[in-house]
A and B are shown apart, each in its own frame.
Chain A
Amino acid sequence: MAAIRERALAWLYTRPEARAWALLAPGGFWLLAFFLVPLLIMFVYSLMPRGIYGGVEPGFTLEHYARFFDPLYLQVLQRTFTWSIACTVICLFLGYPVAYVIARSSRWRTFLVFLVVLPFWTSFLVRTFAMIFLMRDTGLINSWLLKLGMIDQPLTILYTPFAVMAGLVYSFLPFMILPIYASLEKVDPSLLEAAEVLGARPAARFRRVTLPLSTPGVVAGSLLVFIPALGSFLTADLLGGAKQVMIGNLVQNQFSSARNWPFGSAASFIVMALVLAAVMFYLRVKDRSSGGAPSL
């Protein structure tokens, strides 16, 4: 047994390519089995007629893709994109200053990073329910405002677009903060000093040095917020009620109560294609504006 192991290791040692494959294999297998194969199945399903009791019937059709171009669904798609972009922009404006302060602090840095990741210690579902307790008519916000006499009637917060946006921003903010923090932290302090001694006041220094050097973090953070926001359904489901449906809710619905798997699959693939297009467009614009600085 040991001899075989030794011979295998010796064989690997002489072949760097084989070694690379050996390292890639376990993870690669995982992705193949649990990501690529199901995706392929979904793609095939999206091109087949719908089964009466769920599932699919043999045959080929493009009707599910055609059906998506119904104004009802396009409106959901548009809402999803608008909200995801808005969520990304809000996260950027809220997250950048936080990341900046963390990166520049010394003693509190570890603690602050810890605070940013703290929400991950509880389940996303629990945190979303907690937001319901915060925002509902008899929730914390309304009862305080009433007590302070600032309002007479409880404000309707839950089941509004605001509630969904608050939930989305809350859940994705750490994904914006962490990559920006990571890229700001790597900025050599002597570069800031160099800018200052060359005559740059704080605002110019930020615009000309800090901000361009943190673009990789901004790009990574934006993608990490935008893409999952686009696919999210739990937040809209729990905080938005039936009126604030996002594309994720639509897909989830097709696979569960509507039992229309091929249409759900088709919708998924359309969203995937749009996300891919949006991300490539974003990266192209970013590359052009930063003059070919290394991306990600």
Chain B
Amino acid sequence: MVASSSSNNRTVVQLSRVSKSFGDVKAVDDISFEIRRGEFFSILGPSGCGKTTTLRLLAGFEEPDEDGGEVRLLGELVNNKRPYERKIAMVFQNYALFPHLSVARNVSFGLEQRKTPKGEIEGRVRRALEMVRLKPDVFSSRMPGQLSGGQRQRVALARALVLEPAILLLDEPLGAIDLKLRKEMQLELKALNKQLGTTFIYVTHDQEEALTMSDRIAVMDNARVAQLGTPAEIYENPRTAFVAKFIGESNFFDGRVTDLNGEWVVQREGGGSFRVPHTPSLKAGQQVRIAVRPEWLDVQRPDAVPPGENALEGTVRDIIYLGETMHVIVTVPESGDVTVALRNEGQLIKPLAWKRGDVAAVAWLPEDCQILEEE
């Protein structure tokens, strides 16, 4: 097993080769990563990817398989520790407020269980409610049933934060509230994370949410970590087609790598070719898939492609006006529909020059090719 000596005092969570199976199904398959103190760390993935199981392993609701690696919190091995023996707090997807207790009693529940001196409790409950912007005088005596979804969310957050935990686990806490409030809460959560210095571990299936809030993101797919990095790293350099597709939108082009007088060129099966940057991992003759973000593509007349750019010819299938951007869908033989996102820079500068059926080339700079690994 991996020695724990590699962790320093900035590491608060350490997963080393952790696996968890339910019957024959591997929910988490040999994942390893470390989370640093104060970090806003998101675990992102589609449903069934293992992200919730990973969080539950951290919370202590699940234990790793036998020989299923090590879970360490604040340096301590916690594989078989129950949740109440771990120094963590958690916000649940459905808030999980106790329906029979008032807001104040919900928030003080953890303090009472952890034997906090009686005199301290009231003040800390008030401060926690203020922290999540609920007026203590108004809300303390309310029952959860009398609160809106957003208010319940805030109470759940106060109930966790009042414990002043080193680690806060959040299981898709914003899933059930409406878009506008969700955006607001995203910024508030991020601000709380920085202000309190608490490590936030945030599970979500919403890539935009993860990009907005996170310092780092672990993208999970099929019980494994597909990629781990900062939002920019993941967006700019997705390692696999799955990551490229899941975080933002992407267009994919396949072909075989050839070395053309020192330049790496990908020959497409259906004709046409494009250049890719020099990459040590590529070998001549290798089948490769690359991704290009829609906003890195441009639409050009086939005879007007700027020199040095890659270009593939196709037919304009549709034009979708989105206000801020305009999507031009170009059908390229062998690659299907390619989406090009054009910024709306004002009617006079960029008139709607394209119409359906036009012959057009999608063009991009060779350095904007994201070379993907096999999954």
B-binding residues in A (CB < 8 A): 188, 190-191, 193-201, 204, 208-209, 212-213, 290-291, 293
A191, A197, A204, A290: which contacts B59 (Cβ < 8 A)?
A197
Number of interface residues of B (CB under 8 A): 24
A191, A195, A196, A199: which contacts B114 (Cβ < 8 A)?
A199
Chain B residues contacting A200 (CB-CB under 8 Å) are 84, 109, 113
B333 within 8 A of A: no
A-binding residues in B (CB < 8 A): 59-61, 82-84, 86, 88-90, 92-94, 96-100, 109-110, 113-114, 159, 163
Q: Is there contact, CB below 8 Å, between B109 and A208?
A: yes
Q: Is there contact, CB below 8 Å, between A199 and B84?
A: yes
Q: Is there contact, CB below 8 Å, between A199 and B92?
A: no
A188, A201, A209: which contacts B94 (Cβ < 8 A)?
A188
| Cα distance A291–B82 in the bound complex, in angstroms | 31
Given contacts A197-B88, A198-B159, contact A190 B114 (CB under 8 A): no
B94, B100, B110: which contacts A198 (Cβ < 8 A)?
B110
Q: Which residue of A lies closest to B61 (CB)?
A: A193
| Cα distance A69–B113 in the bound complex, in angstroms | 53
Given contacts A193-B96, A213-B100, A293-B100, contact A198 B109 (CB under 8 A): yes
A190, A196, A212, A293: which contacts B82 (Cβ < 8 A)?
A196
Sample of 20 more A-B contacts, CB < 8 Å, known A197-B59, A198-B109: A190-B92, A190-B93, A193-B59, A193-B61, A193-B83, A194-B90, A194-B96, A194-B98, A196-B61, A196-B82, A196-B84, A197-B90, A198-B89, A198-B113, A199-B84, A201-B84, A204-B113, A208-B109, A209-B98, A212-B100
User: Which of A191, A198, A293 neighbours the largest number of chain B CB atoms within 10 Å of its CB?
Assistant: A198
- How would you classify the secondary structure of chain A's contact residues: helix, strand, loop or mixed? helix
Inter-chain contact total with CB atoms closer than 8 Å: 61
Chain B: minimal CB distance from A292 (Å): 9
Q: Is there contact, CB below 8 Å, between B83 and A191?
A: no
Chain B residues contacting A190 (CB-CB under 8 Å) are 92-94, 96
| Cα distance A200–B86 in the bound complex, in angstroms | 11
B89, B94, B98, B99: which contacts A197 (Cβ < 8 A)?
B89
Chain B: minimal CB distance from A185 (Å): 15
| Cα distance A291–B100 in the bound complex, in angstroms | 8
Q: Is there contact, CB below 8 Å, between B96 and A188?
A: yes
